[in-house]
Structure 1
Amino acid sequence: MYDPLLKWVMREETFKRKLVQQSNIQPQMKVLDLGCGTGTLTLMLKRAHPEAHITGVDGDSEVLNIARDKSRGTDIQWEEGLASSLPYPDSAFDRVVTSLVIHHLVTDDKRLAFREIFRVLKPRGELHVLDFGAPHSSLSRFMTKYMRRLEETADNFDGLIPRFVAEAGFGSVSEAEHFVTVFGPLSLWRAVKGD
């Protein structure tokens, strides 16, 4: 039910396609899809970059089973783990991508997640985040009025995600694109781990 709803309401595939393009994945790179859910983005990454090593991680074993079923015959590694305590060694990945996950975390867990992402990225590795962001117009501010009351989403709508990413150690954080949806504004951020 979740996949069709998201596809219909939010134009999910359009945003995720932009995320895949922005990630600039090269052959043989190791890529982590953090909070992969049912694997929609993970599969898009693998189809766009068949020579890359793609791993999907999520804290929910049931959605991981759905992801495994959706990806039968595809070379994707699926693992159970939490964003605040990733089950990987330091400097394991060239890219970490995450889509519509961060807004589900409370403030402390967001900060932990970005520190963990920084830890598992190789030097010069990149983080690419697609999630709710600060409103850029009065219409967007109106749309987020009620969602802003939720502890998990308030940081996003208050524009704090770039700050949390920078606090984790990333040298540069930039908003590459901004989209308006029925649930509020989405931002696409890019951050690079320094040498």
Structure 2
Amino acid sequence: MRQASGKKRYIPALSFRWLTPLYDPLLKWVMREETFKQRLIQHANIRPGMKVLDLGCGTGTLTIMLKKIHPNAQVTGVDGDPDVLKIALDKSRGSDIQWDEGLASSLPYPDSTFDRVVTSLVIHHLITDDKRLAFKEIHRVLKPDGELYVLDFGAPHSSTTRFMTTYMRRLEETADNFDGLIP
């Protein structure tokens, strides 16, 4: 875990920095990442000219999908990890995507900047207080008629998913999500 901006804790994808290069292949293997991210994009109802922020963009998979599906939208990806942002930049060469380093709890944008904020598999990385700060920041950077779309872990509904979340539940950051408590 490293300190971002000298103050806030930052948990890299998969919890350990050395696993970062494995993030994309692992998500493709373990989850149907493109399928559920495609659904998130469909629900977001993005129109030409809209400004869209992918909060906690990681390696840029969702951000790049957004831009491909909505080429006339202004798409920005923000993440607190410069290593994953480098991967995102490499994956998106030639596309018109803005990549920024910043934390969900203190976004580097003026008030009322974005029409849509999307976030995928990020909120469970935040401790409860940082979740609250992140949602305040999202509200701040969204335009008055802007909308937020969250895709993340929630309360398990079967014995299989309860078993699978046993390890993850031990992490302070994920407990609220698995209890169905996102502030």
TM-score, normalisation: structure 2: 0.85
Question: How many percent identity over aligned positions?
Answer: 81
Aligned partner of residue 132 in structure 1, secondary structure: coil
- Cα RMSD (Å) of the superposition? 1.0
- Match in the other structure for 2:146: 125
User: In structure 2, what is the equivalent of residue 184 of structure 1?
Assistant: none
- Aligned partner of 2:38 in structure 1 is 17
Q: Please point out which of 70, 74, 81 is paired with 1:53.
A: 74
1:157 and 2:178 matched: yes
Question: Where in structure 2 are the equivalents of 1:1-195 lying within 5 Å?
Answer: 1-161=22-182, 164=183
For residues 83-121 of structure 1, what are the alpha-carbon distances to aligned partners after superposition, in whole Å with 9 as ceiling and x for unaligned? 000000111000000000111111111111011001100
How many residues align? The count is 162
Distance across 2 between alignment mates of 1:103 and 1:21: 22
Cα shift at 1:20: 0.9
More strand by share: 1
CA positional deviation for 1:14: 1.0
SS at match of 2:166: coil
Offset of 1:62 from its aligned partner? 1.5
Give the letter aligned to residue 132 of structure 1: F
Distance in 2 (CA, whole Å) between partners of 1:39 and 1:140 is 27
Q: Distance in 2 between matches of 1:46 and 1:105?
A: 26
Counterparts of 1:28 and 1:118 in 2: how far apart (Å)? 20
Gaps of 5+ in 2: 1-21
Q: Kindly provide the CA deviation profile for residues 127-178 of structure 1, in whole angstroms up to 9, marking residues without a partner as x.
A: 00111001223433333233222101001001111xx1xxxxxxxxxxxxxx
> Separation in 1 of the partners of 2:130 and 2:34?
27
Aligned equivalents of 1:76, 1:116: Cα separation in 2: 21
CA-CA distance at 1:54 after TM superposition: 0.2
Distance 2:62 2:119 in 1: 9
The letter for the 2-side match of 1:15 is: F
Amino acid at match of 1:38: T
Q: Which runs of 5+ in 1 are unaligned?
A: 165-195
